[in-house]
Each structure stands twice: as structure tokens, then as C-alpha cells.
Homo-oligomer: A and B are copies of this chain.
Amino acid sequence: MLSWLEPKLNGDELATTSAVLDVAEELAADAFLSHYKQADQSEPRLEPDGVHVLPAIGAALRQYAELGFFAAGFEKPLGGMGLSTLVSSAIFAQFAAANIATSAYPMLTAANARLIARFGSAEQIQQFALPQIAGRWFGTMCLSEPQAGSSLADIRMRACREGTDSLGERYLLAGNKMWISGGDQDISENIVHLVLAKIPRADGTLAEGTKDISLFVVPKILPWGQRNDIAVAGLNHKMGYRGTANCLLNFGEAKGAVGWLIGNAGDGLHQMFHMMNEARIAVGLGAAALGYRGYMHALHYARERRQGRLTGLRAGPPVAIIEHVDVKRMLLAQKTYAEGALALCLFCAHLVDQEHEEGAAALLELLTPVAKTWSSEYGLAANDLAIQIHGGYGYTRDFDVEQLYRDNRLNPIHEGTTGIQALDLLGRKILRGGGAPLETVTAKVTSCCDRARSHRALEPYTHALAAAWRTVSTTVDVLRSNDAARALDNATPFLSAFGHTIVAWLWLEQATAADQAASTGRVTRSFAQGKQRACRYFFECELPRVYVWLNAVTSCSDVAAGASLDEF
């Protein structure tokens, strides 16, 4: 599945990576895939003693911990395996493909531990990060509140200073947190909540806005063994993704939930984005993995199912449906979506590893909302086509594709909806950020085109890619020079266009690399032809949509903004 990554690694790394990926694939099949449907049918239940999840989820994650996968991406001094983010992401993708809901627990746990390792004190790391890296405790992120949703400026969780101890400044927290994945369960020894809250001013009021938001580590069970003051007020019953218990948590209904400040007061949002950014790429990667698994199911079904005859023929036995052009078209679309999204998210993981190289961090910031959104939207589109190839069977629960589709529908929503990501990309990253990361993309696109030009079949795409990227850049110039108040009105179509152009670039990279690798015998000729075919499909059938989206952006269309409320 990830063989196109190979050229990026040297011999030793490749051997290790390959071995670890094999172990991951085996465990994913044995312990994660095996309870995929069961976890959908047996949702988490809220009982007086807390939330109970399907025991098979706990059993799978114990094996995952025993094999050290919680620790995959951490440095050795922290008990980690020291693998690169790229490789640990590729490992994660295997588990996400097998069972996205079960793999959400370790995804959140690793991101939680990584935040603490980055911003916590040595004692906090020892107390709260290490047990998560070992896979004994699990982690959550607590941002949203019922009244605030994505508008974090409006959170009302309060944290009042209580004292100081070896873990730092201790606070008592009170308030509600909504949509907490893994917010409670019975499969880890403890749960480490990372909670955004505001420290009240002297007069007891909370400051408006996001500047006074701080971050606290709030364990379910306190270091001295007592249950913290955190109650599960309810479980959300979802369309899919059901194995992940999603909770409404009430903190401090009695005396207050005990938590420790991480870093400095007021740094909460900045710190939380460390975890959020990792989670956004993981959401994208999970969506891509679901898209890819659906594609594999559809491909298998299309090769096995015999029905109908080729156009123009009336006699003879039925053919495998993969022979029908429209089925090929749907398979190609799935391949371009799923492998395009995988490339995008793994490229972002690679940028995490390159963080200290010039331009990498800024490029990662630019691409994070794109990796999250494009993969979510098109991973889902791939699953939709996987159902369609199965016909009526795909709509039944006898096949997995309907569940993949229901599971994947969450991804354009959580960790920030598509609309929120679009504002992040166009507002924060582009119009309020500097132009440097866009110039980095320009340089990379140019160098990609230079390399592609020597592969004759790919030459036409170099012009199309350069033109599309030039149009994106011109659009940014137009937006910079226009009325700032209206510049974000078409942020979502801009994100769509931006994402398609980035993925087109990555398809040209893939086709070029595969052709190169085939010429030296590192991949088969048909593998390279498949990459080239998918690249061609994307350039012919998908890339031209960029101009449709950008037309609305460049013309600063007020078709939506100008609508008065009684017109709906």
C-alpha cells in the first residue's frame, strides 16, 4: 500500500520500516479488523460506574501497547521507538484502515502525550506522558463546550487556583465539555484530559476572547488514587465511528476537578494547537485510509462479480464488472482520491520530521487544514463510489463499505469543520501570514515540473499544473488587494481549489517517482502505469474544477454573502 514511499528511505531504514509495517498490518488484521462490525453494533454504554466499551477494543489496544505502537513516534529517552513521524503515520494508517474508531484512542493518546512532552514540566511528563507512551493510560482533548462549538472564545470552563505541588500550579476546574472522544471508557487504567479553561479575573468574571485561555492536565484518577470530580453527563450516539465513546463531561459538579496548569497561563490555545495540528493530520490520514480500504473492497468486488456484457455484445457469458468502463472510471476516481490523500497526509508527516529545515514548519502550517479537509471530503467521496460499485449489496450491512462511508462522514466535521479549516487556510495562513510558504510551494511545483518534463508521457501535465498554481497565486494577489472584510466570503471554494491543485502536484510527483523507480526495476511497470493512469485521470477530470471554484473567489462573488435571511 505504501510502496511508493520507498524511494525516500535508505536501506537500513527501509528494512526496519518494512518489518514494523508488516507487524502493524498483521495486528491490524488480527485484532482491529476482527471487531470492526461488532463495535458498530455494540455501541458504548453509559452505566452508573461509567462508560463501557466493547471488550474487544480494549483487548486490541493492549496488544497494540505490548508491541510498543503507542510509543512508535516518541524519542527513546521517553520510552519511545524513535521512529520518524512519517513512519509512525504510515503505521497508524494501517490501523485506521482496519478500524478507525478503535484507532482513535491511541491517536489521541499519542497526541496528548506529545503535547505534554513538549510543554509540560519534567514532573508532568513523568506523571502524565510516560504512562500514555506505554499505552497504560489514554488521553483526550477537551476544547468544545455545548454553547461554544468551534467558537473557543466563548468557553466558560473556569479554573481557580488552589495551590502548588510537585506537579506545578494546581487548579480546581468547573464546567462542561462536549464531543470528548474517549472521554470515558473502561479499557485504560486512567484517562488524561487536556482541558481548555479560563482563569477568572479578580472580580470573578471571565475575559472575552481567546487570549486568557489556559491549558490544564486533568486526570480521571488523581495521583493519590482518588477519582477526580468528572462526571459523564451523556454519550453521543453517532451515525458511525461508534467504537469511540464520545462524551459530554461535567467537570467539578462537586468541589471542582483537580488539574495542573501546563506552561504559562494564557498559552492554552497555542499549546492546544500542538495537539490539534497533529490530530488534524491524523484525521486526514484516517479519512484517506478509509477511502483506500473502500477502494480495495470495490476493486476486489469488481474483479469477482460477473454481470452484463461489454457494450455492443449481446451473447456470451457475463464479464467481471471491472471490464465495464464506468466501473473502471469509479475505481480510478477512488484511486486518485485515496492515494492522493495518503500522499498529502504522509507528506505533511514528513514535514513534521523536517521541522527544523528552512520553510518546512511554515509549509506544514499551510498544508495542515488542506490535509485535514481534502482527505476527509474525498476519502468520503471514494467510499461513496465503493458503495456504488457494489450496487444494492453495497447498501447492505453484509458488506463493509456502508460502514466505511458512515464512519468517514465524521471526518469533515471533527477537529474543525471544512468551513473552519477554510478560514484557517485563507485567513490565518495566507492573508494574515506571510507569503513565504506559498513561495515554497511555487519552488516545489517548479522543481516537480522540471523533473516530470523528462518523462515524455507526463510532460502535458507540467503545463496544466503550472497554470493551475499560477491561477491560485493570482487569486491570492487579488484577495490581498481587495476589501479585507469580504476576502473570506469564498474561503471554502478557495480551499477546494487549493486542495485540488496541491493534490495534482503530488500526483505528478508520484507518477514521476514511479516511472523513475520502474526504470530501475524497483517497482513493477504496471505499478508505475497505474500511477500514471491515475495522474492522467486527476489532470483530465479533476484539476479543471479548480477554475470553476476560483472564478467565484476571484470575482469576489457575494452570491452567498449578499443573501438576506428571508430569501431562504
**Residues of A at under 8 Å CB distance from B?**
144, 148-151, 153-154, 178-179, 208-209, 236-239, 299, 303, 307-309, 311-312, 314-315, 318, 322-332, 335, 384, 387-388, 391-392, 394-398, 402, 405-406, 409-410, 412-414, 417-419, 422-423, 427, 484-485, 488-489, 491-493, 526, 529-530, 533, 536-537, 540-541, 544-545, 547-548, 551-552, 557, 559-568
Contacts and interface: CB of A to CB of B under 8 A. Distances in A.
Contacts of A238: 395-397
Contacts of A330: 419
B413 A391 contact: yes
A324 B396 contact: no
B326 A526 contact: no
Given A312-B485, A395-B238, A409-B405, A566 B419 contact: no
13 contacts: A149-B391, A151-B308, A154-B307, A236-B392, A236-B396, A236-B398, A237-B396, A311-B423, A325-B560, A326-B419, A331-B568, A332-B559, A530-B568
**Interface-centre pick from A238, A311, A563 (highest chain B CB count, 10 A):** A563
B236 A560 contact: no
Given A151-B318, A307-B149, A307-B151, A489 B325 contact: yes
A538 to B, nearest CB: 10
A40 to B, nearest CB: 11
Given A413-B391, A559-B536, A564-B526, A237 B398 contact: yes
B315 A529 contact: no
B392 A409 contact: no
A362 to B, nearest CB: 24
A393 to B, nearest CB: 9
Contacts of A391: 149-150, 413, 417
A145 to B, nearest CB: 11
Contacts of A410: 395
Contacts of A324: 419
The 10 closest A-B pairs by CB, nearest first: A329-B560, A530-B567, A326-B419, A151-B308, A526-B566, A239-B402, A328-B560, A544-B548, A237-B397, A325-B561
Nearest to A560: B329
Given A154-B308, A529-B564, 18 more contacts: A144-B392, A149-B391, A150-B391, A151-B309, A151-B318, A153-B314, A179-B392, A311-B485, A325-B561, A326-B419, A326-B422, A328-B560, A388-B413, A388-B419, A391-B413, A395-B409, A395-B410, A530-B567
A304 B398 CA distance: 39
Contacts of A489: 325
A314 B413 contact: no
Nearest to A239: B402
A489 B560 CA distance: 37
A191 B74 CA distance: 65
Contact of A329 (B149, B309, B492): B492
Contacts of A559: 332, 533, 536-537, 540-541
A568 B391 CA distance: 20
B533 A567 contact: yes
A527 B418 CA distance: 30
A395 B329 CA distance: 30
Contacts of A406: 239, 406
A541 B530 contact: no
A43 to B, nearest CB: 10
B239 A395 contact: yes
A552 B545 CA distance: 13
A392 B414 contact: yes
